[in-house]
Structure formats: structure tokens, C-alpha cells
Amino acid sequence: MEATAPRKEDRRKERTRQLLRDALLELIPEKGYEAITLQDITDRANVARPTFYLHFNDKQDLLFSSLREIYDDLVKRQHQTFSDEHFTELVANMERVEDSDFQHVAEHADFYKAMLSEKGSMAFLMMVMEYLSSIMHTELVKKLAINGTVGNIPTDLISSYLAGAEVGIVNWWLKTNNMQYSPAQIAQMMSLICMMGTGWVLRTEIHPPATEPDFSEYDHG
């Protein structure tokens, strides 16, 4: 009997957290993130306000905790191991990661439309960017890099570029007519642009520089 009590308590806590998370995610498309109050959240979740503070510090803590749980689960479901030597496998891995990302966005389209609009939160945008940059760095860029750089460009800069590209593409996709492209199509478009370059996509005659640019650190003073 004693052994089962903690599990029941854990399930009760998890259910409360889930109710609060669902309430916030439902309210954001309706009211906009900034306009939502703690009272709105606890009323929607049918949870007492003191109970809220047993789990979260404030509205932002609830949002970030919820997103971390969602994204951690997303990464677990999409994670696969590829050998570092095969470029095509890594590119395919990138497409699968993006496909899962865009599928997730499609399933929560109203939420992302609100959060990427004037009703959203800059803190949310920064968190998503950091998350995507970290995943891109771990799953793709670092595996392709040699001695920590790619063409003398820092890998974390490349990861940030890819993260920004994905957020921009998601924002554009959400605004298209009924999200007319599928998650797989959008993922493939992003892979072509990011992996092949805008020069290839636009069919321009752009060639790499004859000598590799020097991006070594310099003194700003």
C-alpha cells in the first residue's frame, strides 16, 4: 500500500500540470498570451490558484515548462542515430527532424499563429530559437563540422542561421492559404534552401570564393 501512494500522488500532480498546460495553450489563440491572467488559466483548468503556485512560479514558467515537455517528447520520438561519415544520411536526418517539427506545428497551428503574431511573446520566440539551434547543432551541424568549423564559420552560427530559417518558414507557412503545403513538402523545401543554398535554388551562377575567407577573431578596440 505504501509503495503505491507516491505513484498516485505523482499521477495527481501530472494531471494538474496537464490541465494547466492545456488551459494556457487553449487560451493563447483566444485572447493572446499577454492578455491572459492567472485567473483565466486556473478558471479554465478548474484548479485553485494556490495549487497553481505549487507547480509554477508564474504564467511564463508554465509556458516554458510546457514547451520543454512538448519539445523533449518531440526529440525523443524523432531521434535516430546516423554515422558521421555519410552526408546523404545526415541530410535525410535533417529532413526527418524538420518533418516532425512541421507536423507538430500543423497539429498546434492556432497556438503558433497566435504566438508568432503581435499577440505572442518575444521570450517565447527566443526560447524556440534556442531550442531549434541546439537541435540543429547536435543532430546535423556538429556531425558535418571539421575541427569545430565549417569553412571557418563557427558551427553555432550555422545552427542559429538554420533555426532562424525554420522559424521564418514556419511563420510564412502559417500565413499561406490554409497551409497549402504539407509538413513533408515544407521540410523538403527548407532542406533544399539550407543545404543547397539560395544560389542553387534560384539557379544563379554563384561559385565559392577562390580563397577561403578569414573569420578569425579581431580586436574591436
Helices and strands (H and E) in the chain: how many: 11, 2
End-to-end CA distance of the chain: 69
Would you tell me how many other CB atoms lie within 10 Å of the CB of residue 168? 12
| CA gap 160, 134 in Å, rounded | 8
Q: Which of 50, 63, 51 is nearest to 23 (CA)?
A: 63
| CA gap 191, 99 in Å, rounded | 10
4-13 confidence digits (pLDDT tens):
566 777 888 8
Would you tell me how many other CB atoms lie within 10 Å of the CB of residue 144? 15
What is the predicted pLDDT for the residue at 19?
Answer: 94
Q: Which of 59, 67, 61 is nearest to 27 (CA)?
A: 59
The CATH architecture to which 4-57 belongs is Orthogonal Bundle (1.10)
What is the predicted pLDDT for the residue at 104?
Answer: 87
- For the chain, give every residue range classified as CATH 1.10.10.60: 4-57
What is the predicted pLDDT for the residue at 58?
Answer: 95
Among 90-94, 104-108, 187-191, where is mean pLDDT lowest?
Answer: 90-94
111-166 confidence digits (pLDDT tens):
898 889 888 888 889 988 998 888 888 777 777 766 555 567 788 888 899 899 99
pLDDT over threshold 70, residue 72: yes
Cα distances (Å, whole numbers) of residue 129 to 61, 71, 122, 160? 17, 12, 11, 7
